Structure 1
Amino acid sequence: MPTREPTHHRGPALSRRGFLTGGAACAGALAVPSVAGAQPRLSAAATASYTLTVTNDSTQFQDICLYQEPVDLGVPNALSLAWLTAPAHPNHSVTFTWSPDYSFAWAVTGPLQPGGHFSAWDQVSADPADQLRNRIEFDHDNGSFGFTAAEGPAQVGVLEIDVQDDVPEGTASVGIGMTNAPVFAVQAEPGAVLPFTPHPAYWVTAGTFFTGQVLDVEEITNAVPVPFDGTYAMLAVLTPDNEWSVSPA
């Protein structure tokens, strides 16, 4: 975990960082406990919100974990994070609610590896379809990490992070989030150009997880995809034999 607070308003980068702070993401995804068998609650903006209700019908307490796989992400070595998590006792349900609102994120992680923790020190609202908000720079100025506004956009459909040469190797990581929760992260190597191309592919699993945990998705054996094909609400049930059943709500 980081041992100091980042400083964002400093030196020659003051104006650009001040601008970014004003646009920081503030929405949060929800994980709401509920009674087993209850239907998920849709927000007023149902067309822009997704819900997944997960019922734990197993005999054990489980941490429910929703994550995304890096399908055609465009950034080699990017790792999936435990995006949304919630505890669930046997015969209880939790409901996750989110919207596809993206952000840039960074954290002081040291070497990024599975089992570690990506706890975002800062997030800035982003939009792959908006060329005023789809590219950003990450630097290390006067001993402080931070995002600064980039000069010029990335191509439409991409969320690009340009790591500046002053970022020390093996110290920090950057990535993208959704609904103010980090989804993917990669080591911030000096000089790296990181064109994240998001294609949301949702997976749910159960076990022992915490939000922001760096995952090795190849080692997760009891995960199942959650396809939102023409629907915004899905149900997933973890059966007594730890198998999954997934269906539209």
Structure 2
Amino acid sequence: MSQQYSVTFVNNSTNLGDVCVFQKDPNIGVANVQSLAWFTKTTHPNTKAIFKWNIDYSFVWAETGELVPGVQFIASEVLEADLTQNNAVNLSYLNKAYTFTKQKTEQPLGSLLIHQDPNIPLKQASVGIGMSGNGTFAVQAQPNLDLTFTPHPKYYISFGTFTEGEVLDIAQMTKFAELKFDPGVYSITAILNADNTWTIKSTNQVNKELVAARANNPTAQRLP
């Protein structure tokens, strides 16, 4: 299994809402690709939520109808994939049902390839890739169209009203922050402050600051 990453979200705002972790990738190589709400969780003020994942890829598809912001992508099939083997698959429509077929290894390695069969109906399903079991990017399924996803994962966090799997309208989202993992750092903490701004630090750094603060505040708690 690949390296595990984690983010601890701390809700220091005064609002009940949904924290959403998602990915953006303008250079993924597929036109009209949509970012999905990868992980979400409802949190109260003064609470926290922890998200963990591995960089383990998959192919995903769902019967979404037209893929537009707000539509929920609930994967009907999640097929494990890898950038160096089993990186290609067909989306087929057999006996009036979608399924992945003919998984194999193809060039270019480092990309995830989806070949769509000639009989794929228009505007009924969507197909894409996922990570750690959940969909991350999706595009409208179309007949005879080959898709080459070349992922460069960048992670972001937002807070508001979200449903896991929904198509995000990135252009309309203004209050989100990048979850940047520096070399050798695999756990970070994202704090939503009282003024609804973000503070992003390594979890190790946050814990060091809390240890130092305990001298003056014995009730300070160490984050996991």
Provide TM-score, normalisation by structure 1.
Answer: 0.79
Does the residue aligned with 1:241 lie in a helix, a strand or coil? Answer: coil
1:150: how far off? 4.3
Correspondence for 1:58: 13
Deviations 1:172-192 (A, max 9, x none): 000100010000000011111
Correspondence for 1:235: 189
Alignment partner of 2:54 out of 81, 93, 99: 99
Deviations 1:119-138 (A, max 9, x none): 000010000122xx100000
5+ residue gaps, structure 2, are 204-224
1:142: how far off? 1.4
Partner letter of residue 107 of structure 1?
A: A
Correspondence for 1:79: 34
Does the residue aligned with 1:83 lie in a helix, a strand or coil? Answer: strand
1:154: how far off? 3.2
Q: Does 1:117 align with 2:72?
A: yes
Does the residue aligned with 2:37 lie in a helix, a strand or coil? Answer: coil
Aligned in 2, Cα 1:58/1:170: closer, same or farther, shift over 3 Å?
same
Correspondence for 2:169: 216
Partners of 2:145 and 2:166 lie apart in 1 by 23
1:113: how far off? 0.4
Query: Relative to total residues, which structure has the larger strand share, 1 or 2?
Result: 2
Partners of 1:225 and 1:71 lie apart in 2 by 14
Deviations 1:7-35 (A, max 9, x none): xxxxxxxxxxxxxxxxxxxxxxxxxxxxx
Q: Is the 8 A contact 1:68 1:200 kept in 2?
A: yes
Partner letter of residue 240 of structure 1?
A: A
Q: Is the 8 A contact 2:87 2:103 kept in 1?
A: no
Partners of 2:124 and 2:26 lie apart in 1 by 26
Partner letter of residue 166 of structure 2?
A: Q
Aligned in 2, Cα 1:94/1:161: closer, same or farther, shift over 3 Å?
same
Partners of 2:172 and 2:116 lie apart in 1 by 29
* Identity fraction in percent: 40
Correspondence for 1:184: 137
1:151: how far off? 5.9
Partners of 1:151 and 1:228 lie apart in 2 by 32
Number of equivalences: 202
Partner letter of residue 108 of structure 1?
A: E
Correspondence for 1:137: 90
Partners of 2:21 and 2:105 lie apart in 1 by 34
Alignment partner of 2:149 out of 180, 184, 196: 196
Q: Is the 8 A contact 1:127 1:159 kept in 2?
A: yes
Q: Is the 8 A contact 2:87 2:105 kept in 1?
A: no
5+ residue gaps, structure 1, are 1-44
Runs of 4+ off more than 4 Å: none
Q: Is the 8 A contact 1:70 1:79 kept in 2?
A: no
1:80: how far off? 0.1
Deviations 1:152-199 (A, max 9, x none): 513111001111111111110001000100000000111111100110
Q: Is the 8 A contact 1:70 1:78 kept in 2?
A: no
Q: Is the 8 A contact 1:56 1:62 kept in 2?
A: no
Q: Is the 8 A contact 1:128 1:158 kept in 2?
A: yes
Correspondence for 2:160: 207
1:229: how far off? 1.2
Larger Rg: 2
Alignment partner of 1:157 out of 84, 93, 110: 110
Provide TM-score, normalisation by structure 2.
Answer: 0.88
Q: Is the 8 A contact 1:64 1:207 kept in 2?
A: yes
